[in-house]
Amino acid sequence: MIDLSVTLGSLHLRNPILVASGTFGYAREMAGTVDFKCLGGVIPKTVTRQPRAGNKPPRTVETPSGMLNAIGLDNDGIDHFIAHHLPYLRTLPTAVIANIAGKNEQEFFEMAELLGQQPGLAALELNLSCPNVAGGVDFATDPAVTRRVVGQVRKVCSIPLLAKLTPNVTDIVPVARAAAEAGADAVSLVNTFIGMAIDWRRRRPILGNTTGGLSGPAIKPLALRLVWQVARSVQVPVVGIGGIATIDDVMEYLIAGASAVQLGTVNFYDPTASQRLAEQLPEALAQLGVSSIRELIGTLQVDGR
């Protein structure tokens, strides 16, 4: 028997395959494509306190082995999420992890308290690091701010917490450590890398927001290194994000130290990927002669260290 279950603090998942916020809609859009009971969990689109129209277009541009996006957290606000999306999400046969972003610390506390009172949510992911909105990365670039936000959210919300961090810092370890010490059950690594694309003939940026977040296979080596680095330095589980599209990618992240992974950009060009990778996990574990995911996590062998 192969045991695919994983634990992120007090959050228990049937397997480590999650889908990243902003790439899976509110799950309803994927109902005809993915069998949700095959997944460890779904993370619907980021929700903000008030409705947001998002950034002006163009909002996405394809890049070599990836994409830039500057959506700007387009959503109808938390009241609409609770009234219109959460009833459907509660019916899903998998863990549902809500994702929130505040324009200030107070909004994080208010939304976390509100969602913590709602039935049907397995956990809450704090988007501390969206690069496409004003101030969007401020909460995850300073360990003191990260500690304060996560700590206050922990006081008002009893469900498991994931802190989603930015790679756009000099050293991510102190930020991850601050989140863990403040009460996060896990840290999600990483959000997108800030980049840009230029139309040189027009001498203009292609994205309406000028810059955007780079995701997809292009960032995998960078994200993988950060997961490995943080997993060796903090006492809470790490959720790996960045360029995951194949079973090899999943296994690399697990061995680097991730306890679970989130699939993002791949959902746009292969919406069946999450189910396919979940179904391929048992065979991959069998190839290594192990019977559980836990036997793999953080087993990378580095000579001399």
157 catalytic per annotation? no
- Specify the residue for token string 């129209």: 53
3-state secondary structure the chain: CCECCEEECCEEECCCEEECCCCCCCCHHHCCCCCHHHCCEECCCCECCCCECCCCCCCEEEECCEEEECCCCCECCHHHHHHHHHHHHCCCCCEEEEEECCCCHHHHHHHHHHHHCCCCCCEEEEECCCCCCCCCCHHHCCHHHHHHHHHHHHHHCCCCEEEECCCCCCCCHHHHHHHHHHCCCEEEECCCEEEECEECCCCEECCCCCEEEEECHHHHHHHHHHHHHHHCCCCCCEEEECCCCCHHHHHHHHHHCEEEEEECCHHHHCCCHHHHHHHHHHHHHHHCCCCEHHHCCCCCCCCCC
Omega before residue 153 within 30° of 0, cis: no
List the structure tokens of 112. 């976390």
Q: Are 18 and 262 in contact (CB under 8 A)?
A: yes
Which one is catalytic: 130, 159, 219, 236? 130
Residues 6+ apart with CB under 8 A from 136: 73, 101, 129, 130
* Enzyme catalytic residues: 130
